[in-house]
Amino acid sequence: MRIILTTCLIFLFQNAYSQAMVSDFTFGFEVSPVISWMSTDDNLINGNGANLGVKLGTTGEYMLSENYSITAAIHFSFNQGGQLFYESGGNLLPRTDLSDPDFDKDLPDNVDIRYKLQFLEIPFGFKMRTNQMGNIRYFAHFPEFGFFLNTQSRANVEGGSPGNTVNTKDENINDEVPFFRFRWGVTAGLEYNIGGDTFLVGGIGYQGTFGDILKGRGMRNNGQRDNSTAKIRGLVVKLGVLF
């Protein structure tokens, strides 16, 4: 994992340098708060809370014309995920040895699991913008796709029934989350010129994941296997600067 992250960082700085040398490219940085939550297709597993996270990274655009560009980026995303409420307990984290041996493979009914996930994201997409009006130009980033790599996964597990409760924090659940997944998104906002070719960027985006974000397949207390599909959704407040 360290080799992957180091390679990506080297690529990031090399990409930044090369883009600065070519007039058809613009380069920028992004620090964007994210509110994310999770949902499933199983009525016994329901969303029960959101996470406040952040995306940090670098962005690049290849200008097709004054109004259209192809985009790519490298983002480090922290504290993505959300909280799920499980009406039926059981072996809900089948690949994880919890720190509390009393609940290692048998969580109680009515338990909450808050997933706190960290990703390395590589998004790419198509961006449209208006002509500049005064100091402002508006943009729509659509479509936007990308893939992300699981770099760290933690969970808080709490709740249960009277006399049978669990409360444990920051459990390592890396084996419960797929290493590689895809996402999609759409963003709209504005760019404010502060001089020369430098623009401050602000916008609102909506993002979601493709495929199951949890491996699941553990056995529940009701005798059924967990075959649910979980997804992450998120609202992103895009904040950045373009050069």
Q: What six digits make up the tokens of 46?
A: 């329901």
Task: Kindly give, in sequence order, each residue whose CB lies less than 8 Å from that of residue 219, ignoring residues fewer than 6 positions away.
Answer: 90, 91, 94, 225, 226
**pTM of this structure:** 0.88
Give CA–CA dist 51/29, Å, rounded. 23
Give the mean pLDDT of 129-140. Answer: 97
What is the residue-wise DSSP string for 52-109? EEEEEEEEEEEESSSSEEEEEEEEEEEEEEEEEEESS-BSSSTT---SSGGGSS-BPS
Q: State CA 94 to chain mean position distance.
A: 23
Q: What six digits make up the tokens of 145?
A: 């796709």
Going by the DSSP 8-state scheme, the letter that residue 27 receives in this structure is: E
Q: pLDDT at position 102, please?
A: 83
Q: How many CA atoms lie within 13 A of 76 on its CB side?
A: 11
Task: Kindly give, in sequence order, each residue whose CB lies less than 8 Å from that of residue 10, ignoring residues fewer than 6 positions away.
Answer: none
What is the tens place of the pLDDT at every residue in 33-43?
999 999 999 99
User: Percent of the chain at pLDDT above 90?
Assistant: 86
How many C-beta neighbours within 10 Å does residue 70 have? 13
Per-residue confidence at 103, pLDDT binned at 50, 70, 90?
confident
Q: What six digits make up the tokens of 170?
A: 């920051």
Give the mean pLDDT of 71-75. Answer: 97
Task: Kindly give, in sequence order, each residue whose CB lies less than 8 Å from that of residue 190, ignoring residues fewer than 6 positions away.
Answer: 136, 137, 138, 139, 201, 202, 203
148 in helix, strand or coil? strand
Q: Answer for the pair 105, 97: CB distance below 8 angstroms, yes or no.
A: no
Q: What six digits make up the tokens of 37?
A: 């939550």
Give CA–CA dist 153/158, Å, rounded. 17
Q: In terms of Cα–Cα distance, which of 69, 187, 54, 37 is closest to 121? A: 54
Predicted confidence (pLDDT) at residue 92 exceeds the cutoff of 70: yes
Predicted confidence (pLDDT) at residue 5 exceeds the cutoff of 70: no
Predicted confidence (pLDDT) at residue 20 exceeds the cutoff of 60: no
What is the tens place of the pLDDT at every residue in 199-233?
999 999 999 999 999 999 999 999 999 999 999 99
Q: pLDDT at position 156, please?
A: 98
Q: pLDDT at position 23, please?
A: 57
